[in-house]
Amino acid sequence: MEWKRKIKERLTPARDIGVYAAYSREGWNDEVLVGAPESEPEHQIEAMLKDAEVKEAEPERAGEEGEEVQATEKKKEAVEKPMARVTDADIAGDMKSLNRNLTRTLHLVVKVETGGWKFPTSDLVGKESLHTVCLGSRILS
């Protein structure tokens, strides 16, 4: 029922082409114009959030009998908008921050005495295992 109501408004399941009816007279007009807001990822994220919001109000409707709840009593529980993917550290270019470049895996690289950059390395002393050396000298210091 929720789907039927949404599809009436949007006429299409896709969120990036605006209002498009495939079998109507305007079926030929299926391409998004250059620079249209629909193609922006922000617009699509907001459309998805809007759909998510109304979905949470749905179980409250079932309790009411014979009332038209559609426009009047919609308690929209706001869904949290996801945080931006580009953080302050990204813009500042702070190489030491772990908040930078959230989409990639960051590795720790250290500057050695000779001036080059390498992953932290240390020698094995005596009967140490590789596993314990990692936890001990280099990483915790």
Residues that bind another protein (CB under 8 A): 95-98, 100-101, 103-113, 116-122, 129-131, 134-135, 137-141
Nearest approach, Cβ of residue 126 and another protein (Å):
10
Q: Which residue type, as a one-letter code, is found at position 36? A: A
Nearest approach, Cβ of residue 92 and another protein (Å):
14
Q: Which is nearer to another protein, 84 or 130 (CB)?
A: 130
Nearest approach, Cβ of residue 123 and another protein (Å):
9
Nearest approach, Cβ of residue 124 and another protein (Å):
9
Q: Which is nearer to another protein, 45 or 106 (CB)?
A: 106
Residue whose structure tokens are 């959230």: 102
Q: Alpha-carbon distance 26 to 68, whole Å?
A: 32
DSSP character string of 17-85: S-S--TTSTTTT--SPPTT-GGGSHHHHHHHHHHHHHHHHHHHHHHHS-S---SSS-----PPPPPPPS
Q: Which is nearer to another protein, 27 or 120 (CB)?
A: 120
